[in-house]
Amino acid sequence: MDVRSRHHVTISGRADGRVVVLSHGFGCDQNLWRLVVPALERDFTVVRFDHVGSGRSDLSAWNEQQYSTLDGYATDVLDLCRELALGPVVFVGHSVSAMMGVLAAAREPEAFAGLVLLAPSPCFIDDPATGYRGGFSAADIEELLESLDANYLGWSGAMAPVIMGNPERPELGEELTNSFCRTDPTIARSFARVTFLSDNRDDLTRVAVPTLVAQCSRDAIAPPEVGAFVQKQIAGSELITLNATGHCPQLSAPEETAAAITAFAGAPR
């Protein structure tokens, strides 16, 4: 199966515009970008896709060995860029996808005009020895993964609203819960371990393309210290703090998110 079919690739917007690739995070699919796409389509060629194992991707292409680390997902990103042959792209990676973009850009910088790292985290686990704050203790993450393994649907119902934030807008948490619940539990368990146990702090210094780090003002998953750390490690990168709260600003604050992507992607390179 070709790359477009494997990842259920969707292309829209201006054929003569700079290419913006939108990459979703854990438990999600390309549908979670739908609210920012109309604004981006006015200026850019917009590419959306589903990671293998998510959304309407070809589930038969998933295997645990290939996708046991973020490198497997980064390889898919590079394959996608080559297959589409659209020239250097601005890659927008949400949450764990931000680190996929980091790994891909470190391997083949010529494929990227820039990176937008939206609510990124290179490591979710605190590292007291270095003073790094990821937001969770090792025990927190172990407990989270044990709960997910024991009852994935129950875990989804409990965690999705926490990840989404915005308790005054419960429909957002419900949408993320439904997205989690649509994911095959076996694949979700594997992807969760990759997401929450990866440590890509050392990879940040390998990025040599223009980079925007966009964090949310309040985020239970990626606290402000994480965004500051990422910006400090990537030479020449820019850090902005969105007014948006929660971990999914493309849903909770789509206009602000689209404006930030547009300002960065539309800047001269």
Separation between Cα atoms, residue 114 and residue 65, nearest integer Å? 29
Quick check: is 95 catalytic? yes
Q: Annotated catalytic, 184?
A: no
Is the Cβ–Cβ distance between 124 and 196 less than 8 Å? Answer: yes
DSSP designation for 60: G
Q: How many angstroms separate the CA atoms of 225 and 216, rounded?
A: 11
Helix, strand or coil, per DSSP, at residue 177: helix
- Report how far residue 269's alpha carbon sits from residue 223's, in angstroms, rounded to the nearest whole number: 30
Under a CB-based contact definition with an 8 Å cutoff, are residues 38 and 13 in contact?
A: no
Determine which one of 95, 97, 156, 179 is catalytic.
Answer: 95
C-alpha span between 45 and 41 (Å, rounded): 6
Single out the catalytic residue among 57, 97, 247, 252. Answer: 247
- List phi, psi (to 5°) of 89: -110, 155
Selected catalytic residue, list 29, 76, 126, 219 = 219
Does the annotation count 219 as an active-site position?
Answer: yes
- Positions annotated as catalytic residues are 95, 219, 247
